[in-house]
Amino acid sequence: MIDLRSDTVTLPTPRMREAMAHAEVGDDVYGEDPTINRLETMAAGRMGKAAGMYVPSGTMGNLTALLTHCGRGHEVILGDQSHTYLLEAGSYAALGGIHPRAVPNQPDGTINLDHIEAAIRAEDPHFPRTRLICLENTHNVCGGALLHPEYMAAVRGIAERHGLAMHLDGARVFNAAVALGVPATELTKDVDSVTFCLSKGLSAPVGSVLCGSEDFIYEARRARKALGGSMRQAGIIAAAGIVALEEMVDRLAEDHATAKRLAEGLASMPGIGLDPDTVETDIVFFELARDDMTPDELSEALREQGVLVSPKSGRRLRAVTHYGIDAEDIDTALSALRQALA
Ligand code: TLP
């Protein structure tokens, strides 16, 4: 199978399995797992923050961040196409009483600065209190679009003027950093907290890290505990995360090149809507621009030829490249697509 459904399907590398087999472990709830401690310190360094906290998933990273920044009745401003708003089961509202203020994402993953500013609530007992602005980089549903450091700084300016905190869902922030050729810290220096995922393009089997100040992470540990996300000898899995940070970041450029190859091939096919210039990282969204076939049918026809993609809402489908997909796989996938569309 050529599995392009997501970069979450990546399997651990041989070096990861070896590191897992030999990981030194302890009880992390006592702060005594040396492998987790090492991963957290390393992750915090890569994000330019003072502290890090290992969590089982990106969803829990974002949720612990929101629960730490906001109290019940507080409001978070976030993009209406953001993963946190659309795809995290409304967890912050269900569990934290946090009110979402969804503002339209632009096709490039940003939120218009004037719209952010206009969404900030005045002090009035009728309103929830705005507390936090969340951004996503790269932006999944906006096709892996990346936010530039200048944009992050501009949003920071708004946050500071209004005394708000900023959180970044940086599930794929290393993809953005590699595509821009800048250290990830350039994209995180303006936020108070950031979650990044080890188990997407970086190929570790489990886990994300939430990073922020010492005080913030101290509080976030209580939120993680409340969610049942404090693990014990989880150094076994964190060991793969260390290998991910050491060895798997720079190679993300290969995934961006294969995504571009896929996008260019797709754009040349009649019945497919896609501008390959908009593909900046590893995610390729394309539209099935014909009525005689649904995205589900196209995806089924591809599955029969050994290629997996994800049908999404409307006429859209998503393909994501990753470790384990090379240029030859892309060419095979493209011929399968040509055949399925014929
Ligand atoms: N995204 C998954 C699915 O949930 C859609 C995927 O296949 O892309 N933030 C962003 C931007 C994400 O894309 C995801 C996962 C998460 C957070 C959540 O991470 P996990 O799956 O570890 O909870």
pLDDT in tens, 127-167: 999 999 999 999 999 999 999 999 999 999 999 999 999 99
Instruction: Ligand 1, residue 82: give the atom nearest the CA.
Output: 11
CA of 13 from ligand 1 middle (Å) equals: 21
% of the chain beyond a pLDDT of 90: 99
CA of 138 from ligand 1 middle (Å) equals: 11
**Does the N-terminal peptide bond of residue 138 adopt cis geometry, omega within 30 degrees of 0?**
yes
CA of 268 from ligand 1 middle (Å) equals: 29
Q: What's residue 80's pLDDT?
A: 98
- Nearest protein CA to atom 20 of ligand 1, as residue: 58
What residue ranges define each of the domains in the chain, with the CATH number in brackets? 7-247 (3.40.640.10), 251-341 (3.90.1150.10)
Q: How far apart are CA 65 and CA 67, in angstroms?
A: 6
pTM to 2 decimals?
A: 0.98
Q: Which helix (H) or strand (E) holds 55?
A: strand 51-55
Q: What's residue 61's pLDDT?
A: 98
Instruction: Ligand 1, residue 199: give the atom nearest the CA.
Output: 22
pLDDT in tens, 107-131: 999 999 999 999 999 999 999 999 9
% of the chain beyond a pLDDT of 70: 100
Mean pLDDT of 183-187: 98
CA of 83 from ligand 1 middle (Å) equals: 7
Q: What's residue 99's pLDDT?
A: 98
pLDDT in tens, 63-81: 999 999 999 999 999 999 9
Q: What's residue 108's pLDDT?
A: 98
**Is residue 48 helix, strand or coil?**
coil
Q: What's residue 127's pLDDT?
A: 98
- Nearest protein CA to atom 13 of ligand 1, as residue: 140
Q: What's residue 142's pLDDT?
A: 98
Residue 194 — very low, low, confident or very high, per pLDDT cuts 50/70/90? very high
pLDDT in tens, 256-267: 999 999 999 999
DSSP letter, residue 24: -
Q: What is the Cα gyration radius of the chain? A: 20
Instruction: Ligand 1, residue 88: give the atom nearest the CA.
Output: 18
Q: What's residue 87's pLDDT?
A: 98
CA of 292 from ligand 1 middle (Å) equals: 31
Residue 2 — very low, low, confident or very high, per pLDDT cuts 50/70/90? very high
| Cβ atoms of residues 4 and 326 within 8 Å | no
- Name residues contacting ligand 1 (CB within 6 A): 6, 8, 57-59, 83, 87, 136, 140, 169, 171, 197, 199, 208
Q: What's residue 301's pLDDT?
A: 97
Mean pLDDT of 291-306: 96
Summary mean pLDDT of the chain: 98
pLDDT in tens, 13-66: 999 999 999 999 999 999 999 999 999 999 999 999 999 999 999 999 999 999
Residue 195 — very low, low, confident or very high, per pLDDT cuts 50/70/90? very high
DSSP, residue by residue, 244-303: HHHHSSTTHHHHHHHHHHHHHHHHTSTTEE--GGG--SSEEEEEE--TTS-HHHHHHHHH
